[in-house]
Amino acid sequence: MLKVFMCVIQRDLLLAFRRRADIVTTLFFFIIVVSLFPLGVGVNPGLLRTLAPGILWVSALLASMLALGRLFALDFTDGTLEQMLLSSEPTSIIVIGKVMAHWLVSGLPLVLLAPVLAIQFDLPAESIGVLFVSLLLGTPVLSLIGAIGAALTLGVRGGGALVSLLVLPLYIPVLVFGAGAVGAQASGIGASAHLLLLGGVLAGAVALTPWATSAALRIAVE
């Protein structure tokens, strides 16, 4: 199963880097949205520090949603997904591999860029560190939950808009705990409680979403 898992990741990463324009689009969207807020809000340092956690997290959430449509759509179109579902390996392993590849392409770059972009909001170093950790815990959850929505809307006309309506309510706890961790650290309360809750959400998502996504994929293919 480990060999299948690694093969799925390697294949999806290779296909993603052959279509680098999609990766660049996600990154530029994140950079532009985050950078526009200081220009629109003004140069008040106190206000920027207050707004920074929500702005960075909402921007990362929206940027990650841009890539959800590519998670299964190409494999569904060319018939590869059907062959994967017919294999003797557990479908959940294939799903986890595809979600991991999706996160490495669309989630991890956001995690690495966020601390650099946070400098323009005048966040202290401790808050930037908490932001990095919260995104590192939270963005995989966005990919795991988004995989369910992408599977449910597979082959549906207007699926891009529909998947947003499906997954956005499920993203709210991740957004609250992620942005709340940075805000709690900035206010001196400490971010450990929010990060622990975010870690619990990640553990629950890893345990439950692959099976839900597998079931949704089988329904879509049938």
Average pLDDT over residues 30-56: 85
Whether 158 shows a pLDDT value over 80: the answer reads no
Mean pLDDT, the chain, as a whole number? 87
Which of 114, 166, 162 is closest to 138 using CA atoms? Answer: 114
Whether 30 shows a pLDDT value over 90: the answer reads yes
Q: Spell 106-139 as b/e; 16+ CB within 10 A means b.
A: bbebbbebbbebbeebbbeeebbebbbbbbbbbb
pLDDT of residue 203: 94
* Alpha-carbon span 177 to 84, nearest angstrom: 35
Q: How confident is the model at residue 160 (pLDDT cuts 50, 70, 90)?
A: low
Which residue has better confidence, 54 or 88?
54
Sketch the domain layout of the chain as residue ranges. 2-221
Helices (H), 42-124: 45-66, 73-78, 80-86, 91-106, 108-118
Which residues have C-beta within 8 Å of that of residue 204, sequence separation ≥ 6? none
* Alpha-carbon span 159 to 172, nearest angstrom: 21
Q: Per-residue pLDDT tens for 185-204?
A: 888 888 899 999 999 999 99
User: What is the widest separation between alpha-carbon atoms in the chain?
Assistant: 59
pLDDT of residue 139: 94
Whether 161 shows a pLDDT value over 80: the answer reads no
Give the number of other Cβ atoms within 10 Å of residue 65's Cβ.
22
pLDDT of residue 21: 81
Average pLDDT over residues 112-118: 92
90, 205, 213, 220 from 217: Cα distances, Å: 13, 17, 6, 5
pLDDT of residue 202: 94
* Alpha-carbon span 177 to 134, nearest angstrom: 8
Q: Which two tokens stand for residue 100?
A: 């991991």
Q: How confident is the model at residue 73 (pLDDT cuts 50, 70, 90)?
A: confident
| Angle subtended by helix axes 91-106 and 45-66, to nearest 10 | 140
**Is-contact 71 102, C-beta < 8 A?**
yes
Q: Is the dihedral of CA 51, 52, 54, 56 positive or negative?
A: positive
